[in-house]
Amino acid sequence: MKIFLAQQNYHIGNFESNTNKIIEAIRDAKSRNADLIVFSELSICGYPPRDFLEFGDFIDKCNQALEEIKEHTADIAVLVGAPSRNINKDGKDLFNAAFFLYEKEIKAEVHKTLLPTYDVFDEYRYFEPAFEWNIIEFKGKKLAVTICEDIWNLGDNPWYRLCPMDLLMEQKPDIMINLSASPFDYTHYEDRKAIIKANVLKYKLPMFYCNAVGSQTEIVFDGGSFIFDKQGNIVKQFPLFEEALDGLEINDDNTFNEPVVENVSQLPTHELNPDRLIPALNIDEIYNALVTGIRDYFRKMGFSKAIIGSSGGVDSAVTLALACDALGAENVRAILMPSPYSTNHSVDDAVLLSKNLNNPYDIVPIKNIYEQFLDTLKPIFKDLPFSVAEENIQSRTRGNLVMAIANKFGYILLNTSNKSELATGYGTLYGDMAGGLGVLGDCYKLQVYELAKYINREREIIPQHILDKAPSAELRPNQKDSDSLPDYSVLDQILYQYIELRKGPKEIKALGFDVPLTDRTLKMVNINEYKRNQFCPIIRISPKAFGVGRRMPIVGKYLI
């Protein structure tokens, strides 16, 4: 039997595009003598559809697409993902389903059992777990079909009370097939290898694993589908961040004639969940995830041009370089807005950066507008000393200017704030926190510097002076980030322990971090939840990103 996997980039709710993409892949696989083609989880509607699932019309359109796809299965079988209505009165109204189509009929329907409700997932909000578990018989093979989370309940501390594969093994299957929509983070690719390997070794069956690719607002899917033999070796490895269609013929004895691509003993040995922030860890994958996130956000929303406030600092430099890669340099406009406190070298650095990238840029000084603000406010401010109020006026002036240009010419503003700043509230609402998409909002400052090095790996694109100088908002004379924040080499490690690893203050201090500094850092994180709650969507690259995957009360008292 020849089984193909279709690793595709879907558009949530774009049924025409998704359906055409699926049908085209079916035709392609059929021309290559495939017996079965497998698509990813909820491929018909795109993942995650979230509250679209509450609309009956949305489910009707899924069913209409399924009917259209079914007509192309006369002599090739198809496993495709879509929501399915629950005809039972008990439980939720829908299942997260995989439909087995063949001979223009729905031959079988598999329901997802394990419904994740952690991090970015909220599937039990919409779906009912499976009531029954049955293998699918096809051309002399017994197929054990599962959906994403169904294969993740292994290990010493399982999150669920059963494993669907344990139940399916009672029917003596020959092959495991998993339809997945497993998001990217910078450790998850290796996690996936490990969990698939663990399933293969436990059940002693080969595994065909099909993952989605592409970005859906803040969530990036990296693809990286696999075919494993029953010894736990990879015999087919799909690319990351690319669509792909490929497959293998499996023999009667459930073996492959293909050479092993990667042996179990050769799997990477670094910790899958490091206990400290390693800024350079998988930086190439992070770069590709961010480019994918920008490109798909614009393409799927119908946008084409971006605008960025370019300060001459490393955050805006990295954001600009990423955007130029994602959208084309000609479609990314940089606006340099020097204030009375901006240094000449910052402007020069920003100009040189745009010349290196060959993107259009403008210089719009804010000195006159800033002074008009101060003159207007003088009767109210009187002679009170310079404070954060004057700093924020500069930042909000820049926000107004760049948004005015964006509105006039149809640009989308890309935000340049990093995770260290967002964690500690080091930003101005409606100023430098404005934007349609947060590019670096899940990258700590140390990771931003590593991204800059990666961008410069072949030639100097980001001027070296940007990387060498001390970070500064340049909103008052001789200002440095270190005036308000701990050194990033320490700060980022504390933040990582608290945000990603969810360690409490006692645990963090026990690691050797300064006691007052730890208390001050955690307080900054928690008192600034209101700022992050008003922030734009952030491209997720870590196991715990700000946004839908981290839900904290704004008015909570914890550690404040």
Q: Which residues, in sequence order, are CB contacts of 192 under 8 Å at separation 6+?
A: 182, 209, 211, 224, 226
Task: Judge whether 112 counts as a catalytic residue.
Answer: yes
CA gap 263, 272 in Å, rounded: 18
Q: How many CA atoms lie within 13 A of 432 on its CB side?
A: 27
Q: Compute the Cα dihedral for 346, 348, 349, 350 and give only its sign.
A: positive
Measuring CA to CA, which residue among 341, 344, 349 is closest to residue 473? 341
Choice among 21, 30, 41, 149 that is catalytic = 41
- Show Cβ contacts of residue 297 under 8 Å, excluding neighbours closer than 6 positions: 215, 217, 303, 437, 539
SS3 508: helix
Q: For this structure, is 324 an active site residue?
A: no
Q: Is 162 helix (H, G, I), strand (E, B) or coil?
A: coil
The DSSP letter of residue 183 is B
Max intra-chain CA distance, the chain:
87
CA distance 8 to 23: 12
Kindly name the residue from 112, 236, 445, 531 that is annotated as catalytic: 112
Residue 513 CB burial class (10 angstroms; 0-12, 13-18, ≥19)? middle
Q: Beta-carbon neighbour count of residue 468 at 10 Å?
A: 8
Q: How many other CB atoms are found less than 10 A from the CB of residue 455?
A: 22
Distance CA 195, CA 197 (A): 5
Answer left, alpha or beta for residue 139, where phi above 0 means left and psi between -120 and 50 means alpha.
left
Tell me which residue has tokens 């004379």.
Answer: 477
Residue 41 annotated in active site = yes
Strand order in the sheet with 412-415: 361-363, 332-336, 306-309, 412-415, 437-438
Catalytic residue, from 70, 123, 141, 148: name it.
148
Nearest to 44 by CA among 184, 152, 179: 179
CA distances from 48 to 98, 195, 220, 225, 428 (A): 15, 22, 11, 18, 31
Q: What's the distance, Cα to Cα, between the start and end of the chain in Å?
A: 61
CA separation for the pair 471, 354 (Å, rounded): 19
Residues in the chain: 560
547: its two tokens: 């946004």
Q: Could you tell me which of 154, 148, 414, 191 has the C-alpha nearest to residue 281? A: 191
Q: Report which of 465, 377, 391 is spatially closest to residue 432, judged by C-alpha positions.
A: 391
Known catalytic residues are: 41, 112, 148
